Amino acid sequence: MTESNSSPTARRRGLRRGLSSSALRWLLPIVLVLFFLAILIWLPWQARQMESTERQEQLIADTLWVEQTIRFQLGRDEESLRALAYEIGAVHLSDEQLKARLTRLLKNGHEFLRVVWLRPDGSLHASSDAIPLPVRLTQASEATMELVRKTRKPMYTQPEVQSGNQSAAPAAVLMDYHIPLFRGDEYLGDLVATYQTSVLLDEMVPWWFAQDNQVSLIDRDDRVLARRAAAGPGHGVYTHKRALDLPGANLTLVTDSVKSEPKLLPNLLVGSVIVLSLGLLWSLLALWGHISRRLAAEGALRQQMLFRTAMENSLVTGLRARDLEGRITYVNPAFCQIVGYPAEEIIGKLPPMPYWAPEAMAEYQTRFASVLAGKVTPQFETYFQRPNGERVPVLIFEAPLVDNNGKQTGWMGSILDISDRKRVEDLNRQQQEKLQSSARLATMGEMASMLAHELNQPLAAISSYTTGALNILKRADSQHAPVQATALIPALEQASTQAQRAGQIIRSVHEFVKKSEPQRQQIAIGPLLEGIRTLIELQARQAFVSFKTSIPDQLPPVLADRVMIEQVLLNLTRNGIEAMQHIPPQRRLLKVQASYLPETAQVSVAVIDQGHGIPEDVAQRLFSPFFSTKAEGMGMGLNICRTAIEFHGGTLTHSANPQGGTIFTFVLPALAENTETET
């Protein structure tokens, strides 16, 4: 019995639980749908409220901007009028000057209707009108004129409108601005500028603002003084008032938007939500693809950057980037190794740089000024100083640094450490000097026998003349007679001449043989040739060769080392003398000619012989080191000559002489007349 009674109760409880669970399953979607509908209804309303608030705030901001614009322009007009009033009070302007100033004010300020100068009694003294007309002031303007006279402060006159005309702006509402004119304590009247309120709005309210709003000027009684409604009357939904702070006048700027209240568009909003949801899903997919491509690009860029960094770090050439202000923006490890400073102590620094040597600071500053001016030397040599004081010679290549848009952002420099090259150059120079010294000594060895013969003649003459003088003295002493000076003078003069000749020969040889560092100086070819003429003639006489020179008096000088050019001339003349040993004596003529080449601004010197000439096979190897056609020759003479001429920026060439023999010609850059001597 108990079991039969409990079974229906349990079934009812289960049924209630099932109904409750089913109702909950239905209720939850309904609640969610209602919540979604509530959101759909609330969102348009909220969007409408936000749009309305945004429009009102934008109108307030634009109205404030327009008010500031009007006040700013009025302030500029006030400054111009006060400046004119000051000039009238401080300086006696002529009628023409005053008329010109008033006309200029009217031309520059389109908001002015006219500008006049009224005497204390109100009569017209000067006007900006082309044809001055009588001015009739309103009662308010007359009261303002009396007030500014007492206070000496400029003031505006309150614009007036006719009663009963409040619905629309009157045709012409005028506002005067009075500035009192004083010369010391003497009252000269008022400078009155008349504005037309409608023109104020037309000139000072931007067109884009007038297209969306009705703009009005009202007085303290809300009477309309001027109105501008380019897009029609306002709807009264979005309005704002802003008072114009003008001394003496109470004006308010009123803006009324032509826009109406935003409408509710729920269907459009729901559709927009769906479209936005689909667009969001598409954007997520597109963003995922973009992120994947970007990650792949970043990985490739990272690999390229690592490769570029490894490549730059492995370079032995220093790299340095500078911006347009000269600030260092990048250096590679090779540059840091050259200058001896880490990158963090260099990057971001402006000149002077820590690796600049103090003694070359002027050179660095000059080059830096050229860089700032946009003029850079593409290639130049200088030297840097390491922290330990060591100087490092470097070769710098500079070029503009251009971005991918073709715009220059700075300068890029490549720096090479040329210490090894400099050491090789110094070694070569030393070897060249040794070769030149050896060549000079070899030349002197060949001239030793000629010197013995040549010095024997003046020494023998000296001995004869001195012996004759001694004999005269002994004979006079034995006869106890006075010595006649006239008898001794000829003998002693001849002895002195021969002694000077011998000394000149010895000095020429000494100057030629002694070793000295190359020293460039301004030299003339004529005097230089005269200095070694004795040595050339010594060899020429030994070989029965005639020696002639042709040097123009107006030949420009050259910048060269005297000893090196002397050695070139001696080598070339000696070769010419030796080339004429096997021709008839009457044809043995050696010439040295010089000329100026104006087309290249060079001095040309030619050594001309009439010897046997140079065969074609010998001419191809003529300037090669250690090549000689003479059994006892070292083969370095012509090579040294060419090296010496090229050292001075010139060239050494040879050609056949039409009269037989060879012409050796070298050219050197000529110096201008106003060029200073360099050492």
Residues 156 and 230 in one domain: yes
Q: What is the pLDDT of residue 409?
A: 85
The total of other beta-carbon atoms located within 10 Å of residue 107's CB is 10
192 vs 106: CA distance, rounded Å:
12
pLDDT given at position 631: 43
pLDDT band at 591; cut points 50, 70, 90? very high
Regarding whether 243 and 322 lie in a shared domain, the answer is no
Query: Domain tally for the chain?
Result: 4
Quick check: 665 pLDDT over 70?
yes
What pLDDT was estimated at residue 504?
Answer: 62
- Could you read off the pLDDT of 182-229 as tens digits, one per residue? 888 888 889 999 888 888 888 888 888 888 888 888 888 888 888 888
Q: Could you tell me if 554 and 594 lie in one domain? A: yes
pLDDT at 29: 57
Peptide bond into 352 cis (omega under 30): yes
Query: What's the pLDDT score for residue 608?
Result: 93
pLDDT at 576 over 80: yes
* Over residues 572-601, mean pLDDT: 89
Domain assignment present for residue 571? The answer is: yes
Cα-trace Rg, the chain: 54
Neighbouring-strand partners of residue 656: 662
Predicted local distance difference test score (pLDDT) of residue 373: 79
CATH code for the domain of 139: 3.30.450.20
Query: For the purposes of burial, counting CB atoms within 10 Å of the CB of 537, is it exposed (0-12), middle (13-18) or buried (19 or more)?
Result: middle
For residue 49, being part of any structural domain is answered with no
Are both 564 and 537 inside the same structural domain?
yes
Q: Identify which has the larger pLDDT, 469 or 323.
A: 323
- Boundary of a domain, candidates 210, 236, 257: 257
Same-domain pairing of 552 and 456 = no
Torsion of CA 109, 113, 114, 119, to 10 degrees: -120
- Give the residue numbers spanning the domain of 444: 431-515
Query: Is the pLDDT score of 7 beyond 60?
Result: no
pLDDT score of 164 more than 50: no
Same domain assignment for residues 106 and 157: yes
Task: Please provide the average confidence, as pLDDT, over all residues in the chain.
Answer: 78
Q: What is the pLDDT of residue 660?
A: 86
Contact partners, residue 518, CB within 8 Å, separation at least 6:
561, 564, 647
User: Which of these three, 515, 549, 574, is where a domain ends?
Assistant: 515
Tokens found for residue 255: 């803006």
Query: Looking at the domain assignment, is residue 8 inside a domain?
Result: no
* Token representation of residue 382: 């200088």
Q: In what order do the strands lie in the sheet with 112-118?
A: 124-127, 112-118, 186-196, 174-183, 155-156
Residue 603 has pLDDT above 80, yes or no: yes
User: What single string gives the DSSP state of each residue in 311-340?
Assistant: HHHH-SSEEEEEETTS-EEEE-HHHHHHHT
Structure tokens that stand for 45 in this block: 């309303």
pLDDT of residue 5: 45
pLDDT tens for 274-322 read: 666 666 667 767 777 788 888 888 888 888 888 777 777 777 788 888 8
Q: Which residues of 275-306 are buried (b: 16+ CB within 10 A; e: fewer)?
A: eeeeeeeeeeeeeeeeeeeeeeeeeeeeeeee
Question: Is residue 140 within 8 Å of residue 158, measured between CB atoms?
Answer: yes
Give 106-118 pLDDT, tens digit per residue: 888 888 888 998 8
d(CA 622, CA 635): 9
- Are 476 and 483 a contacting pair, CB within 8 Å? yes
Q: For residue 277, is it within any domain?
A: no
Residue 103 lies in a domain: yes
pLDDT at 180 over 90: yes
Angle made by CA atoms 204, 205, 208, in degrees to the nearest 5: 140
Answer yes or no: is pLDDT of 366 > 80: yes
Residue 42 reports pLDDT greater than 80:
no
What end-to-end distance do the CA atoms of the chain give, in Å? Answer: 141
Residue 4: its pLDDT value, please?
43
Sorted by sequence, the CB contacts under 8 Å of residue 309 that are 6+ apart come out as none
pLDDT at 28: 62
Query: Is 40 contained in some domain?
Result: no
pLDDT at 675: 44
Confidence of residue 3 (pLDDT cuts 50, 70, 90): very low
The reply to whether 506 and 531 lie within a common domain is no
Q: What CA dihedral angle connects 459, 465, 469 and 474, to 10 degrees?
A: 80
585 occurs within a structural domain = yes
Asked if 560 and 621 sit in the same domain, the reply is yes
582 and 634 belong to one structural domain: yes
- Give SS3 for 323: strand
Q: What is the C-alpha separation between 336 and 184, in angstroms, rounded?
A: 75
Length of the chain: 679
Do 64 and 154 reside in the same domain of the chain? yes
pLDDT of residue 9: 66
Residue 502 or 583, more confident: 583
At 664 the pLDDT is 92
Tell me the C-alpha distance between 198 and 274, whole Å: 51
- Asked if 171 and 246 sit in the same domain, the reply is yes
109 and 252 part of one domain: yes
Q: Is the pLDDT score of 349 beyond 70?
A: yes
Quick check: pTM over 0.85? no
Nearest to 357 by CA among 337, 383, 380: 383
Q: Which of 271, 239, 214 is nearest to 52 (CA)?
A: 239
The CA distance from 670 to 649, in Å, is 11
Give the residue, 234 or 175, on which the prediction is more confident.
Answer: 175
Higher pLDDT, 411 or 557: 557
Q: What whole-number percentage of the chain has pLDDT above 70?
A: 73
Q: Of 257, 292, 307, which residue constitutes the final position of a domain?
A: 257
- Whether residue 632 is predicted with pLDDT greater than 80 in this model: the reply is no
In this predicted structure, what is the pLDDT of residue 613?
Answer: 81
- Quick check: is 10 in a domain? no
Residue 600 has what DSSP assignment?
Answer: T
Q: SS in 3 state form for 176-214?
A: EEEEEEEECCEEEEEEEEEEEHHHHHHHHCCHHHHCCEE
Confidence class of residue 676 from pLDDT cuts 50, 70 and 90? very low
407 falls in which pLDDT band (50, 70, 90)?
confident
Rounded to 5, what percent of the chain is helix, strand, coil?
Answer: 50, 20, 30
Is it the case that residue 131 has pLDDT exceeding 80? no
**The pLDDT of residue 420:** 82
